Amino acid sequence: MNKIEPRTLPGFMELLPKDQIMFNKMKEKIQKSYEKFGFLPIDTPIIEMSEVLLAKAGGETEKQIYEFQKGDNNLALRFDLTVPLAKYVAQYYNELSFPFRRYQIGKVYRGERPQKGRFREFYQCDIDIIGDGELSIINDAEIPKIIYNTIKELGFDNFTICINNRKILNGLFKELEQEENSIEIMRIIDKLEKIGKEKVIQELAKVNVPEDAINKIIEFIQIQGSTDEKLQKLEQLNIQNDIFKTGVEELKEVIKYIRIFGLPEENFRVDLTIARGLDYYTGTVYETFLNEYRSLGSVCSGGRYENLAEYYTDRKLPGVGVSIGLTRLFYKLNELQAIKEEQKSISKVLVVSMVEDMTKPIEVATFLRENNIPTEVYIGNKKIKAKFKYADRLQIPFVIVIGEDEITNNVVTLKNMETGEQETLKIEDLKAKL
C-alpha cells in the first residue's frame, strides 16, 4: 500500500507527552486560579456563522480568518474568545446574572504567516467581568490581583503588572489637539522602550505632530518615580481637559483598590506609555512582564471596554478582562527551560513483574489506584532492564518489582527511581510511602 507521510501543518503545535503534561499542568493552574476568583466557565463552539463572527472584524484580522462553506452556510473559525463572549452575552442575556464573571480557555485560529513561536492554532485563557449598563471601577482593581495569583501559581515571583488608563492618553491628545493623530501617536509611544526617546520624537514629527505637542508628549511619557509620585506628577501637568481628569481619577481609584486587594507594590506599576494598540479599550489597560524574560513581551494583557456587544444588541455592556496566550507562552518558556513544573509523569508508580503470572502485580496496581495513586502495570514480555528503561523514559518516579520472593513473602520491592534507593514493604504500607 502507498503510505501517506504523517505530518502536522506548519504553525500548529503538537507536543510529545512529556511536554503535553507540562502544558496541561499550566492550563490547569490557570483554570484553578480563575475559579478561585469565582469565574464561571463557558465553552463556545469553535465554528460560528461568518456573519456573526465577523460582525466587527476588519483589516488585518479578517485576512487571517479561516473561512469556508459547508452546505449553504458561510462558516468561520473563532479568532479570539472575545467575539464569542459578546455573542454569548447578547444571546443569553436574560438567563445570565450580572456582573457576569466568565472564563474561557480554548483554541483559536489565525492564519498568520508561520514563523518560529507564532501559531495558527493557539490556546487563549480569558477572564472578563461584564456589567449590565454599568460596572464598578473596583473590578478594574481586582483583575491585577487575579493576574498576580495566576502568574504566581505558574511558579513566577519576579513579574510586573503595568497599569495605565486610556482616558489619560486620550485626554492628553485632546488637550494637544492631536485627537486625529491619536492612534498613530499611541502606536509610536508604545514603542518607547524598544526604540528609545529620540526615535519616538523623530517618528512623531514624521506624522506631523507639532513641536510643542511633541514636547508635552515626551514630558508626559517620561514621568518617573513611585506609583504615588507618578499620580501626583500627572495632576501637576495641570491639564484641565475632562477626559484626562477622569482618567487620572480612575487610575487613582484603581491603585487605591489594588492595594486593598493586597497586591504587593513590587508586582505592579503605573506605566503611562502602554496603550494596548487597539482602539478597543477605553479605560484601564494592563500588560504583564516576567522580568527575567522580558523578551517574551506581555504575557497577560487586557483592559476595560465601554461596550462588549454593540454589534449584537443595544444594551450597554461594559467590561474588563485579560487574556493569556498560553500556546506561545508555553513554547517560549519551554525553549528557555523556564517552566517551573515539578510533575513530569502521569503515573506515580510502574509495577513490573519478574514472573509470568500477572495476578499479584495487577492486585498491587488495583490497590494503589483505589488509593488514588496513578499507577501503570507493565504488561508485556520484556526483560526487566527494558521495563526499567520504560519507567525511566516516562520519568515515572517509583517502580514496584514483584518476583517470586515477593510473592512468597507477600511483600513488594519499591525502588525510588531518582535516588536509586530500594526497600521491601508490605502492600498496605505502600500507601503511606507514596
- By CB under 8 A, what part of segment 141-180 binds a copy of itself? 142, 145, 149
Per-residue DSSP letters for 5-26?
PP---TTB----HHHHHHHHHH
Pick the closer one to a copy of itself by CB: 25 or 166: 25
Q: Quick one: DSSP state of residue 1?
A: -
Work out whether 375 is an interface residue with a copy of itself (CB under 8 A): yes
CB of 361 to a copy of itself, least distance (A): 10
CB of 375 to a copy of itself, least distance (A): 6
Pick from 80, 203, 261, 407 the residue near a copy of itself by CB under 8 A.
261
Distances (CA, A) of 154 to 150, 190, 341, 352: 6, 27, 8, 34
Contact 330, 340 (CB under 8 A): no
CB of 68 to a copy of itself, least distance (A): 3
Pick from 115, 238, 372, 419 the residue near a copy of itself by CB under 8 A.
372
Work out whether 279 is an interface residue with a copy of itself (CB under 8 A): no
CB of 394 to a copy of itself, least distance (A): 6
What residue ranges in 13-156 does DSSP mark as E strands? 40-41, 47-49, 67-70, 73-77, 100-109, 121-130
Q: What x/- string results for residues 20 through 39 when contact with a copy of itself is judged by CB under 8 A? A: xx-xx----------xxxxx
Between CA 414 and CA 398 the distance in angstroms is: 7
Q: What x/- string results for residues 287 through 316 when contact with a copy of itself is judged by CB under 8 A? A: ----------------------xxxxxx--
Residue 390 phi/psi, 5° resolution? -60, -45
Pick the closer one to a copy of itself by CB: 92 or 193: 92
Strands 73-77 and 47-49 come out as antiparallel
Contact 303, 278 (CB under 8 A): no
Residues 6+ apart with CB under 8 A from 177: 213
Closest CA to 219 of 180, 255, 175, 277: 175
CB of 195 to a copy of itself, least distance (A): 33
CB of 116 to a copy of itself, least distance (A): 17
Between CA 240 and CA 276 the distance in angstroms is: 25
Query: Which residues, numbered 71-110, are part of the site for a copy of itself (CB under 8 A)?
Result: 71, 73, 75, 86-88, 90-92, 95-97, 99, 101-102, 107, 109
Work out whether 282 is an interface residue with a copy of itself (CB under 8 A): no
Select from 129-137, 154-162, 225-233, 412-420 the region that touches a copy of itself (CB under 8 A).
Answer: 129-137
Pick from 62, 63, 68, 117 the residue near a copy of itself by CB under 8 A.
68
Select from 6-14, 170-178, 285-293, 332-340 the region that touches a copy of itself (CB under 8 A).
Answer: 6-14
Pick from 203, 246, 390, 407 the residue near a copy of itself by CB under 8 A.
390
Contact 80, 124 (CB under 8 A): yes
Pick from 208, 226, 359, 416 the residue near a copy of itself by CB under 8 A.
359
Pick the closer one to a copy of itself by CB: 126 or 142: 142
Work out whether 379 is an interface residue with a copy of itself (CB under 8 A): yes
Closest CA to 186 of 278, 116, 100, 254: 278
Q: Give the distance from CA 178 to its chain's centroid.
A: 34
Between CA 297 and CA 247 the distance in angstroms is: 25
